Amino acid sequence: MMETAFWLDRWENQQIGFHQNTVNEHLKQHWQSISPGTDNVLIPLCGKSLDILWLAEQSLAVTGIELSALAVDDFFAQSQCEYTVQTLPEYRLYQSQRIRIIQGDYFTLPPELTGKISSFYDRAALIAMPESMRVSYVEKLASLLPSYAQGLLITIEYPQHEFSNPPPFSINTHQVESLLSPYFSVERLSREDTLKNNKKFAGKVSWLYESVYKLIRK
């Protein structure tokens, strides 16, 4: 099992190859598939993603959850958003006009801290989990969402044995459906060959696909 120290060390040493310096193209292309009225978006393990800002610019309220205080501090420093910080017993709550980031452990997060959530977005959370943690991750996500909450999940798929330094981990459609179907209806929106555009994997694996799923909480 990957301990919290693993992720804190990654941020401390700036080993953050999972961070993207642009807004995710799948998000921009597919967010429109999420029904209108889903105006409070949850982003587990959000890091300092620029996707947070893009969603806020769509007039959405965004709540991120992130373990690393360094990541959250970097996000607000780089975005230049004005914000306040509230210290709670096991969490810190950073808040600006449309963005809230809860800094602390996702797996023990009390639902009352997230407030009312109507949608969610996962680009780099599930694929960061080794197999031993995925069920717990999905169970926690389901517990934070009301029935009919909708969201996007982005995964990658590649020959796992060819890549010796995960995360991110390869998760195929069968695994997605097995993990998520007890709690969500699952619809794959796209599957694209992205190896040539992925610097982390180019030359290291023989093929790579990215898939986008629309999920609806049962």
The whole-number pLDDT of residue 13 equals 62
* Average pLDDT across the chain, whole number: 90
pLDDT at residue 52 tops 70: yes
Ordered by start, the domain boundaries in the chain are 1-10+38-117, 118-218
pLDDT tens by residue, 138-156 = 999 999 999 999 999 999 9
What DSSP state is assigned to residue 178? H
Domains 1-10+38-117 and 118-218 share a fold: yes
Q: Which two tokens stand for residue 101?
A: 């980031």
- CA dist 102 and 63 (Å) reads 7
User: How far separated are the first and last CA of the chain, in Å rounded?
Assistant: 29
The whole-number pLDDT of residue 164 equals 85
The whole-number pLDDT of residue 1 equals 41
The whole-number pLDDT of residue 11 equals 54
100 and 80 Cβ atoms separated by less than 8 Å = no
pTM here? 0.92
Backbone angles phi, psi at 62, to 5 degrees: -115, 130
Domain 1-10+38-117 has CATH 3.40.50.150: yes
pLDDT tens by residue, 19-46 = 467 899 999 999 999 876 668 999 999 9
- CA dist 174 and 179 (Å) reads 9
Burial 10-38 (b: 16+ CB within 10 A, else e): bbeeeebebeeeebbebbeebbeebeeeb
**What superfamily would CATH give domain 118-218?**
Vaccinia Virus protein VP39 (3.40.50.150)
pLDDT tens by residue, 61-110 = 999 999 999 999 999 999 988 999 999 999 999 999 999 999 999 999 99
